Amino acid sequence: MTTVLKNFINGEWVCSKGKDVLDVVNPATGNSIMQVPAGNAGDIEDAAKAAREAWPAWRNTPATQRIQYLFGMKQVLEKNSDEIAGICTNENGKTYAESKAEIVRAIENIEVACGIPTLIQGDFSEDIARGVDEFIIRQPLGTAACICPFNFPIMIPFWFMPYAIACGNAFIVKPSEKVPMTMTRIFELFESIQLPKGVLNMVHGGKESVDAILQHPLIPAISFVGSTPVAKYVYKTGTANGKRVQAQGGAKNAIVVMPDANDDTTVKIIADSAFGCAGQRCLAASVVVTVGKDAEKITKNLVMAARSKKTGYGMLADVEMGPVITKESREKIETLIQSGIDDGADLLLDGRGIKIEDYEKGYFVGPTILDNVNPESLIYKTEIFGPVLSIVHVDTLDEAIDLLNNNKYGNSACIFTHSGAAARKFRHETLAGNIGVNIGIAAPMAFFPFSGWKESFFGDLHAQSSHAVEFYTQTKVVIERWNEEWTRKF
Ligand code: NAD
């Protein structure tokens, strides 16, 4: 019988109060490798209470001492990165190298959050009137929770958790029920750093756990990352309940290729962007828009680069692209490819129906490229979240920018060019939160906020860096009168 994962509440591993469980499936084999609780409001109740009890002592612990635990986290992740990456690959499907890269991103966020003693500083004005000073301080909110997607089981919780706890909050992590094993192992390893009980909790589950978080009066702040419909729901419900919410949603990212950038490096970077993590990245290139007459060469080279990507089980050293997350996901991707063909696109490379030797039951889709995709078609407008690249051709940069700006999402947009003027115009006019110039995945480093516009983000303050510090603290403005004649007692 498969084991059922436990929740981590108040420093203890406890069984869920709910009876329903879900299978965790290795997408490369199609085999169930674990079970996870489906979610229960009682679990969230226990975690919220434990966090509330831990909070007063934690917020009164000086920030310089709070960050010592973060140094411990960094060491644990570094020391155990091989094991953590292996678990991630087996439940998510991405390659081992991609799992290792996630750990680096997680660590970078811990490192930035170690700067909280500086990042959390307020401002002070002396003598705003005679003997009167005024200042602003940042204080933690209480308990914050993060609700995570399946595609980055390691990195995404660390966009939030280190900042929240370093700012003096207690925290609850709700991993994706599709990939709950990686965070569970990280929490087991974190026991060695001996955070005070209740400061960091983990509750498993799906919609029921999310709804309980959205309703709970002891959880005033929620960070969410996932698909746009759920992001909207979480934002709407959470804010209606008086909570502070930051909700990152889906995406449909395009890369514009100017005629002067039609070279091998551009092709390699675009292919890595579109097919890395099997296209299951919120910053993956889903569309290439070529500008100018001579698009044949880049189209042909993109097909060659895509065809050369070795698809298979992510733990094997020569594999460059793993499976997609579920059978349903593969079906959705294959249906969208067919809809693109039906709407008139030319199928240049077809990844449907590929069989990988020894992994015949895995959810594999090979790299797929469609040319002359109609911008009005379903495949152009829908987030595919798979290894599928659509190519569109236009005559001018203005047309390309218009096309991108008509996209309902605004997560990222990239341009490849050797012209500073074209790059500058693109950066200035394109309606997306993360812009890349000669970059395939415009992922902000941990010391910049992870931006995102339009239907890709709901809220005001983004994940990471200074935005995270603002999100997890509230400002208090204090005016003090220490007028000497009136208060002098010495
Ligand atoms: P998802 O929306 O299905 O799930 C995300 C989280 O919401 C999970 O923890 C899940 O348990 C919960 N959830 C799912 N359905 C729910 C419902 N009906 N009510 C309440 N909670 C629910 O997303 P996913 O498939 O896990 O992740 C992929 C999506 O995440 C893609 O759309 C991708 O673009 C997006 N994503 C965005 C970013 C970003 O920074 N904008 C980053 C990573 C992933």
Q: What is the pLDDT along the chain (490 residues), one digit of tens a residue?
A: 569 999 999 999 999 999 999 999 999 999 999 999 999 999 999 999 999 999 999 999 999 999 999 999 999 999 999 999 999 999 999 999 999 999 999 999 999 999 999 999 999 999 999 999 999 999 999 999 999 999 999 999 999 999 999 999 999 999 999 999 999 999 999 999 999 999 999 999 999 999 999 999 999 999 999 999 999 999 999 999 999 999 999 999 999 999 999 789 999 999 999 999 999 999 999 999 999 988 999 999 999 999 999 999 999 999 999 999 999 999 999 999 999 999 999 999 999 999 999 999 999 999 999 999 999 999 999 999 999 999 999 999 999 999 999 999 999 999 999 999 999 999 999 999 999 999 999 999 999 999 999 999 999 999 999 999 999 999 999 999 998 888 877 6
C-beta 157 within 6 A of ligand 1? no
Backbone torsions φ then ψ of 394, nearest 5 degrees: -135, 170
Whether residue 159 contacts residue 130, with contact meaning beta carbons closer than 8 Å, is answered with no
The minimum-distance atom of ligand 1 relative to the CA of 234 is: 20
Which residues make Cβ contacts (< 8 Å) with residue 355, sequence separation at least 6?
A: 364
**Ligand 1 centroid from CA 122, angstroms:** 35
CA quadruple 461, 467, 469, 475: dihedral positive or negative? negative
The minimum-distance atom of ligand 1 relative to the CA of 248 is: 41
Whether residue 68 contacts residue 194, with contact meaning beta carbons closer than 8 Å, is answered with no
Q: What is the model's pLDDT at position 2?
A: 67
C-beta 385 within 6 A of ligand 1? yes
Whether residue 420 contacts residue 438, with contact meaning beta carbons closer than 8 Å, is answered with no
**How many CB atoms are located within 10 Å of the residue 207 CB?**
12
pLDDT digits (tens, 9 = 90+) for 403-461: 999 999 999 999 999 999 999 999 999 999 999 999 999 999 999 999 999 999 999 99
**Ligand 1 centroid from CA 56, angstroms:** 32
C-beta 207 within 6 A of ligand 1? yes
Tokens, residue 450: 């992870």
Q: Which of 227, 286, 327, 332 to mutate to test the pocket of ligand 1 (most atoms within 8 A of CB)?
A: 227
DSSP class per residue in 378-415:
HHHHS---SSEEEEEEESSHHHHHHHHHTSSEESEEEE
CA quadruple 252, 257, 262, 265: dihedral positive or negative? negative
Q: What is the model's pLDDT at position 262?
A: 78
pTM of the model: 0.98
CA distance 77 to 75: 5
Question: Burial of 397 by CB count in 10 Å (0-12 exposed, 13-18 middle, 19+ buried)?
Answer: buried
Place of tokens 């296209």: 279
pLDDT digits (tens, 9 = 90+) for 181-206: 999 999 999 999 999 999 999 999 99
Q: Where are the beta strands (DSSP E) in 258-406?
A: 285-291, 346-349, 368-371, 388-394
Catalytic residue among 146, 148, 277, 282: 282
282 catalytic residue (yes or no): yes
Tokens, residue 355: 């069989």
The most distant pair of C-alpha atoms in the chain lies apart, rounded to whole Å, by 87
The minimum-distance atom of ligand 1 relative to the CA of 231 is: 2
**Ligand 1 centroid from CA 30, angstroms:** 21
Looking at ligand 1, which residue's alpha carbon is closest to its atom 30? Answer: 226
C-beta 102 within 6 A of ligand 1? no
Query: What's the full length of the chain, in residues?
Result: 490
The minimum-distance atom of ligand 1 relative to the CA of 385 is: 31
**Ligand 1 centroid from CA 151, angstroms:** 9
C-beta 190 within 6 A of ligand 1? no
Q: What is the model's pLDDT at position 168?
A: 98
Q: What is the model's pLDDT at position 490?
A: 67
**Ligand 1 centroid from CA 327, angstroms:** 17
Cα Rg, the chain, nearest whole Å: 24
Q: What is the model's pLDDT at position 278?
A: 98
Backbone torsions φ then ψ of 249, nearest 5 degrees: -115, -160
Q: What is the model's pLDDT at position 294?
A: 85
Which residues make Cβ contacts (< 8 Å) with residue 378, sequence separation at least 6?
A: 336, 339, 340, 343
**Ligand 1 centroid from CA 35, angstroms:** 19
SS3 of residue 216 by DSSP? coil
C-beta 225 within 6 A of ligand 1? yes
Question: Burial of 118 by CB count in 10 Å (0-12 exposed, 13-18 middle, 19+ buried)?
Answer: exposed
Backbone torsions φ then ψ of 347, nearest 5 degrees: -85, 110
Whether residue 419 contacts residue 374, with contact meaning beta carbons closer than 8 Å, is answered with no
